[in-house]
C-alpha cells in the first residue's frame, strides 16, 4: 500500500463482486432448511482492505484502541476467546453460524448417527478469506477436526467459536487458526442444532452480522461492523504509525522524559 512519495494512499473500501452471484446458486448440502440460510453471499471487503489491516503493528490491540475512540463496542480479550494456534493473525469477513442445544437426548442421536449440526453448509458457502463465526454452547464442541480440514481446504482465514472446539492438534497441524472459549472433547453432533446460517449472532455479548470484519491475534478478537470498516482502518492506521515512530525513538535512545512528552498521538478530529 506504499506510494512513490512515501505516503500511504487512502483506503478504497470496495466490495469484491462475488463471481458466484452471476452463476447458478451453489448446490446446498441439505443439512439445514433453505429458510434458515439468510444469505448465500455475504458482503466481502476488497483485498486492499484486508491487506491494509494486516500491515498494522499490534493488530488486534491497535484496532481495539481505534474502536474505543470511535465508540464501537466489539473487542473481546484472549482471556475469553483464546487462540488455539498461537502466533496467528487473521482478518476477514464473518460467515456466521448459530447453534443451540437440541431437545433430543444425545445418546439417541449417537445411536442413530443423526446430527442436527449444519456447519458443513457454512463451509460449502465459504469463499477464500472468509472467517467462520459460530455462536455455540459453552463446554460443547461446535468445531472439530473435520470442520477444520474442510475450512482449510476452502481457503477460509479461520474460525471464531463462542463455545467449545476440539481436535485442536488437527487444526494446528494443518494451520487452521481457531479462537474459542475453550477446548472440549464433548461433541456437538448429537447435542447441538444449527438454527441459522448467515444471520445475526452474539459472540461473547457482541452482536455480529455476516460481512462484519473479524480481526484476531494473540491478544483477542475484534468485530468491526461492516458499515464502519473504513473509519476504523483510518484511525487504526494513524495509531499504528504513531506507535511505530515511538518505538523507533525508543530504539534510537531518546530518554523516557522525551518519549513521554512527545506528541505521537493526535486526538481524533470531530466531524
* Listed residue (201, 179, 221, 230) closest to 95, CA to CA: 201
Model pLDDT, residue 15: 46
Model pLDDT, residue 265: 67
Tell me the C-alpha distance between 20 and 199, whole Å. Answer: 20
Structural element, H or E, at residue 163 = strand 158-165
Residue 174, SS3 per DSSP: helix
Q: What tens-digit pLDDT sequence spans the chain (271 residues)?
A: 333 344 444 455 544 434 344 334 678 888 888 999 999 999 999 999 999 999 999 999 999 999 999 999 999 999 999 999 999 999 999 999 999 999 888 888 788 887 888 999 999 999 999 999 999 999 999 999 999 999 999 999 999 999 999 999 999 999 999 999 999 999 999 899 999 999 999 999 999 999 999 999 999 999 999 999 999 999 999 997 877 677 676 787 878 887 677 676 677 666 6
Q: Report pTM.
A: 0.85
Structural element, H or E, at residue 29 = none
Point out which residues pair with 185 in neighbouring strands: none
List the Cα angle 51/54/60 in 5-degree steps.
Answer: 145
pLDDT, tens only, 93-151:
999 999 999 988 888 878 888 788 899 999 999 999 999 999 999 999 999 999 999 99
List the Cα angle 109/133/117 in 5-degree steps.
Answer: 15
Q: Which three cell numbers stand for residue 163?
A: 463455545
Tell me the C-alpha distance between 179 and 50, whole Å. Answer: 19
Q: For the chain, how big is the Rg over CA atoms in Å?
A: 20
Amino acid at each position: 500500500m506504499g506510494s512513490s512519495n512515501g505516503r500511504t494512499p487512502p483506503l478504497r473500501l470496495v466490495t469484491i463482486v462475488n463471481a458466484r452471484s452471476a452463476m447458478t446458486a451453489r448446490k446446498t448440502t441439505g443439512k439445514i432448511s433453505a429458510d434458515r440460510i439468510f444469505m448465500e453471499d455475504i458482503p466481502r471487503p476488497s483485498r486492499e482492505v484486508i491487506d491494509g489491516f494486516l500491515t498494522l503493528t499490534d493488530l488486534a490491540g491497535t484496532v481495539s484502541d481505534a474502536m474505543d475512540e470511535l465508540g464501537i463496542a466489539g473487542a473481546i480479550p484472549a482471556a475469553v476467546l483464546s487462540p488455539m494456534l498461537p502466533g496467528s493473525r487473521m482478518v476477514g469477513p464473518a460467515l456466521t453460524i448459530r447453534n443451540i442445544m437440541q431437545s433430543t437426548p444425545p445418546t439417541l442421536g449417537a445411536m442413530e448417527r443423526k446430527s442436527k449440526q449444519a456447519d458443513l453448509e457454512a463451509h460449502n458457502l465459504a469463499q477464500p478469506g472468509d472467517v467462520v463465526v459460530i455462536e455455540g454452547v459453552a463446554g460443547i464442541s461446535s468445531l472439530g477436526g473435520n470442520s477444520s480440514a474442510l475450512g482449510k481446504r476452502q481457503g477460509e482465514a479461520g474460525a471464531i467459536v463462542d463455545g467449545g472446539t476440539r481436535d485442536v492438534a488437527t487444526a494446528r497441524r494443518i494451520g487452521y487458526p481457531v479462537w474459542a472459549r475453550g477446548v472440549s472433547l464433548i461433541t456437538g453432533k448429537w447435542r447441538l442444532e444449527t438454527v441459522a446460517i448467515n444471520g445475526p449472532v452474539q459472540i461473547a455479548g457482541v452482536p455480529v452480522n455476516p460481512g462484519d470484519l473479524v480481526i484476531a491475534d494473540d491478544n483477542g478478537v475484534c468485530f468491526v461492523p461492516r458499515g464502519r470498516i473504513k473509519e476504523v482502518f483510518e484511525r487504526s492506521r494513524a495509531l499504528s504509525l504513531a506507535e511505530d515512530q515511538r518505538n523507533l525513538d525508543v530504539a534510537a535512545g531518546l530518554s523516557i522524559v522525551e518519549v513521554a512528552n512527545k506528541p505521537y498521538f493526535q486526538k481524533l478530529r470531530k466531524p
